[in-house]
Amino acid sequence: MTVNVEIDGEIAIVTIENPPVNALSGAVRERLLTLVELLDGDANIRAVVLTGAGRLFVAGADIVEFDRPPEPPFLPEVIARIEAAAKPWIAAIRGAALGGGLELALGCRFRVATANARFALPEINLGIIPGAGGTQRLPRVVGVAEAARIVAENYTPVGAEALRLGLVDTLMEEPLVPGAVSFARAALGRALPPRSLNRGVSAPASDVWAEAEGRVVADAKGATAPLQALQALRHGIDYGAEAGLALERKTFLALRSTEEAAALRHLFFAERAALRPADMRLQSPRSVETVGVVGGGTMGSGIAAALLNGGLSVVLIEQDEEGVFRARSTLAKLFESSRRRGLFGAGGDASGWMDRLETTIGYGTVERCELVIEAVFEDLAVKRAVFAELGRVCRPGTVLATNTSYIDPRLIAEGLLGPERFLGLHFFSPAHVMKLLEIIPTPQTAPDVLATGYDLARRLGKVPVRSGICDGFIGNRILRRYRTEAEVLVRAGVGIAAVDAAMRAFGFAMGPFEMQDMAGLDIAFLYREAARSRGEPVPDMPGDLLVRVGRKGQKSGGGWYDYIDGNRRPIRSPEAERIIAPLVGAKKEMAGEEIVARLMTAMADEGRTILDEGIVASAADIDLVEVHGYGFPRRRGGPMFQASRQDMTITRTL
């Protein structure tokens, strides 16, 4: 780590160089504080340009430090000293000014930036709020309404938008630093603007707060930080900047040590580590620009949409005109949904999304694909037939992938020409939304083919998790255990609705029974029946009794719950309870926390078994599977994180 100083005439140039993202570690803060004193005392210096080495300005505070008590000098103190400096500081920003990086720039008298520079206060994604003046300086620079969106809603102005807001004073081309030095010289010839914190700010119309609060609470999904960020901002508007700073710091310090913040930091680092496993760091992926997708059903179309969203070209292969028509109409809907979700940027530019899609019948044009993903019916014979064709018509170097969700990829690849180029890429439905990608190599998969899977995940903005080969890989195995444990509770007399309510209160969008009604009870039933036909001692479960009388979930009009007139709202079903009664004990009251603990324990137990079998590399990977593939509430960190915290609690109480 260094913070370098160069002198250009009467201008000092201070460059933060703390790879990989110029995080404001304790050493950087210390050096900045020393420098502001030095430069203030140097009569030859009239202004200071502050910039970051490399591709971005500053990514924020050093998140690694958050697992320890805060260490002085504290960032608010450093920023306040820069803001109070006798010589004006000019922040020269390229790439990104995030979190504490934006707060540091707001402490400068001016901000100049390149057109690609992004400005954000992403602290709420870490379960905290800005802790170094962002909630107070920002509204005084850009106004309350815009500041509320940046502080509490992840609004990220870029370049020209930041200029329009007044967040930057001017945009400039590279080379940035010489431009900033010239800007500084010119600024010295004019009256300086007021320091950010001293700028006037008018209280907004009362509906601004009500609207912002409504949006923030609606989007928060139970997370506490966004609303508290907004409250800190408002406190400073209602009671003055000093009061706002005090509440901001108090709230930041309180949130920094919460379970939620620890969980979100755990996922932050796990997501980054997942993209760059140690054995892939020296592997070059094969070049892929055009991807074939075999099968235009729900999964195939979703995968095609994810590929198109990632900027790749797609050849979607169907068997007949009807299949092509169905796939194209599905893709048109997915295009609309991606555009509505803002996936094509503010301008809504679809960057030739549909132009990069070719739909075809048969394998006539598949030889131009560098990767082909099979997404046909989950049947071994059908998949084998597809790969027999692909092995024959694709170029020898083309990577071949199966999207199977539970069939052993080795069986699918049996007899395949060039098995080293084959692997499993298990997408999760809806594939253009769900971030999880389970990557399943076979023993023959070549390292550069595996690296191609990881590179595809990166380009699609997905979270890759490598899985060994077992029944259900990682996620479906844990899901089976979770559902079984939920049925064990019902068999013990705990109410179906009580279990679902407990898991919803924990943060799941749906409880296990509501979710199974949506997905279909027959999947678990058929799995258990298959095990029974293999002679395995699988006891009857309440769900089996329901399926046997045709109650398969929403698709059959009822499962664990009743559904009236096609309405998807689950209604308690006396009929279902009558059917499962032979397997259910006397009614048993169980507190929601205990229900959660039982189901978390079951998930973590299965996770530990999966780890022990070497199916997955780390407990954190299991958490990524659950959070990004199965709706595990992000602010809880995942079942393995939960278990580790319980263990810590147990250790602490022992």
Residues in the site for ligand T1G, rule: CB under 6 A? 20-21, 23, 59-64, 75, 96, 98-100, 103, 122-123, 126, 128, 130-132, 134, 269, 272-273
Beta-carbon contacts of residue 344 (< 8 Å; ≥ 6 apart): 338, 350, 351, 353
Taking the complex as a whole, how short is the minimal distance between the CB of residue 98 and ligand T1G, in angstroms?
4
Q: Smallest distance, Å, CB 271 to ligand T1G?
A: 8
Looking at residue 14, its amino acid is V
User: What span, in angstroms and rounded, lies between the C-alpha atoms of 222 and 211?
Assistant: 18
Place of tokens 């998930």: 603
CB of 89 to ligand T1G, least distance (A): 18
At 331, list the tokens.
Answer: 């893709």
Q: How far apart are CA 240 and CA 335, in angstroms?
A: 46
Classified as helix, coil or strand, 312 is: coil
Residues labelled as active-site residues: 103, 123
Contact 310, 290 (CB under 8 A): no
Q: Give 62: exposed, middle or buried? Use CB within 10 Å, 0-12, 13-18, 19+.
A: buried
Q: Would you say 275 or 324 has its CB closer to ligand T1G?
A: 275
Closest CA to 424 of 373, 478, 369, 376: 373
Q: Nearest to residue 112, comparing CAs of 40, 151, 162? A: 162
- Report yes or no: 145 and 129 within 8 Å, Cβ to Cβ: no
Say if CB 296 and CB 303 are below 8 A apart: no
Residue 564 CB, nearest approach to ligand T1G (Å): 46
Residue 589 has phi, psi (to 5 degrees) of -80, 135
The residue (of 63 and 181) whose beta carbon lies closer to ligand T1G is 63
Q: Which of 129, 470 has the CB closer to ligand T1G?
A: 129
**Nearer to ligand T1G by C-beta: 64 or 492?**
64
Q: Which is nearer to ligand T1G, 167 or 519 (CB)?
A: 167
Report angle CA 622, 66, 256 to the nearest 5 degrees. 90
Class of residue 332 by CB neighbours under 10 A (exposed 0-12, middle 13-18, buried 19+): exposed
Q: Are 631 and 509 in contact (CB under 8 A)?
A: yes
- Which helix (H) or strand (E) covers residue 251, if one does? helix 241-256
Output the smallest distance, CB 461 to ligand T1G, in A.
10
Q: In angstroms, what is the minimal distance from the CB of 166 to ligand T1G? A: 21
Residue 446 or 460 having the CB closest to ligand T1G: 460
Shorter beta-carbon distance to ligand T1G: residue 134 or 285: 134
CA dist 325 and 304 (Å) reads 14
Do β-strands 399-402 and 422-427 pair in parallel, antiparallel, or remain unpaired?
A: parallel
- Whether omega before 70 lies within 30 degrees of 0, making that bond cis, reads no
Nearer to ligand T1G, 102 or 489 (CB): 102
Task: State the amino acid at position 283 in one-letter form.
Answer: Q
Nearer to ligand T1G, 5 or 273 (CB): 273
Strands (E), 152-217: 170-171
Q: How far is the CB of 620 from ligand T1G (least distance, A)?
A: 12
Smallest gap from Cβ 58 to ligand T1G, in A, equals: 8
Nearest to 53 by CA among 5, 12, 85, 10: 5
**Which C-beta is closer to ligand T1G: that of 348 or that of 461?**
461
Start-to-end CA distance of the chain, whole Å, equals: 41
Q: How far is the CB of 332 from ligand T1G (least distance, A)?
A: 31
CA-to-CA distance for 621 and 627, rounded, in angstroms? 10
Residues 6+ apart with CB under 8 A from 647: none
Classify 358 as helix, strand or coil: strand
Q: Which is nearer to ligand T1G, 90 or 96 (CB)?
A: 96
To the nearest whole angstrom, how small is the minimum distance from the Cβ of residue 625 to ligand T1G? 19
CB 525 within 8 A of CB 543: yes
Contact (CB, 8 A) for 390 and 377:
no
Beta bridge partners of 438: 426, 465
- Coil, strand, or helix at residue 377? coil
* Smallest distance, ligand T1G to C-beta of residue 154, A: 10
